[in-house]
Structure 1
Amino acid sequence: MFLSYARAILIGVCVCTAGATHAQTSAPPALTVQSVEAGELFPLVPGESTFEVVDGDGEGRQVLLELSAAEGEGRWEVRFGDYNILHLSELSDGSVLLTGLDVLTQGQIVLYEPPVVLLPSRIVPDRTWSASGRATVVNRETREVEHTGEYQHQVMPITRERFATPSGDYEGFLVPLEQTIELEAQAVIRLWLDLGFFPGKGLVKRSMKFVVDKPMWFGSTTRRTAELVR
Structure 2
Amino acid sequence: MYLSYPRAILIGVGLCTAGATLAETPASPASTVQEVEAEELFPLVPSESTFEVVDGDGEGRQVVMELSSADGEGRWEVRFGDYNILHLSKLRDGSVLLTGLDVLTQGQTVQYEPPVVLLPNRIVPDRTWSASGRATVVNKETREVEHTGEYQHRVMPITRERYVTPAGDYEGFLVPLEQTIDLEAQAVIRLWLDLGFFPGKGLVKRSMKFVVDKPLFFGSTTRRTAELTR
TM-score (norm 1): 0.89
Name the aligned partner's letter for residue 59 of structure 1. Answer: E
Note the alpha carbon deviations across 1:27-74, whole angstroms, 9 max, x for none.
Answer: xxxxx9612110011000001000000000100000000000000000
Task: State the SS of the aligned residue for 2:40.
Answer: helix
Question: Unpaired runs of 5+ in structure 2?
Answer: 15-31
Give yes or no for contact 2:9–2:110 (8 Å, CA) kept in 1: no
Give the distance between the partners of 1:67 and 1:202, measured in 2 at CA.
Answer: 11
Give the distance between the partners of 1:137 and 1:197, measured in 2 at CA.
Answer: 28
Identity %: 85
- State the Cα distance separating 1:6 from its structure 2 match: 3.2
The match for 1:21 is: none
- State the Cα distance separating 1:7 from its structure 2 match: 4.5
The match for 1:62 is: 62
Give yes or no for contact 2:36–2:122 (8 Å, CA) kept in 1: yes
Task: State the SS of the aligned residue for 1:189.
Answer: strand
- Alignment: residue pair count: 210
* Off by >2 Å, runs of 4+ in structure 1: none
- State the Cα distance separating 1:172 from its structure 2 match: 1.0
Give yes or no for contact 1:82–1:104 (8 Å, CA) kept in 2: yes
Give yes or no for contact 1:6–1:210 (8 Å, CA) kept in 2: no
User: Which runs of structure 2 are paired with 1:15-34 in the superposition (5 Å)?
Assistant: 34=34
User: Which runs of structure 2 are paired with 1:26-105 in the superposition (5 Å)?
Assistant: 34-105=34-105
Question: Relative to structure 1, is the Cα distance of residues 92 and 10 closer, same or farther in structure 2, using a 3 angstrom cutoff?
Answer: closer
Question: Relative to structure 1, is the Cα distance of residues 7 and 92 closer, same or farther in structure 2, using a 3 angstrom cutoff?
Answer: closer
The match for 1:164 is: 164
Task: State the SS of the aligned residue for 1:113.
Answer: strand
The match for 1:193 is: 193
Give the distance between the partners of 2:9 and 2:95, measured in 1 at CA.
Answer: 23
Indicate yes or no: 2:125 matched with 1:125: yes
- State the Cα distance separating 1:165 from its structure 2 match: 0.4
- State the Cα distance separating 1:3 from its structure 2 match: 2.9
The match for 2:210 is: 210
Q: Which gives a bigger RCO, structure 1 or 2 (Cα 8 Å, sep 6+)?
A: 1
Give the distance between the partners of 2:13 and 2:96, measured in 1 at CA.
Answer: 18
RMSD in angstroms over aligned alpha carbons? 1.2
Name the aligned partner's letter for residue 5 of structure 1. Answer: A
TM-score (norm 2): 0.89
Indicate yes or no: 2:8 matched with 1:5: yes
- State the Cα distance separating 1:189 from its structure 2 match: 0.5
Question: Unpaired runs of 5+ in structure 1?
Answer: 12-31
Give the distance between the partners of 1:130 and 1:94, measured in 2 at CA.
Answer: 18
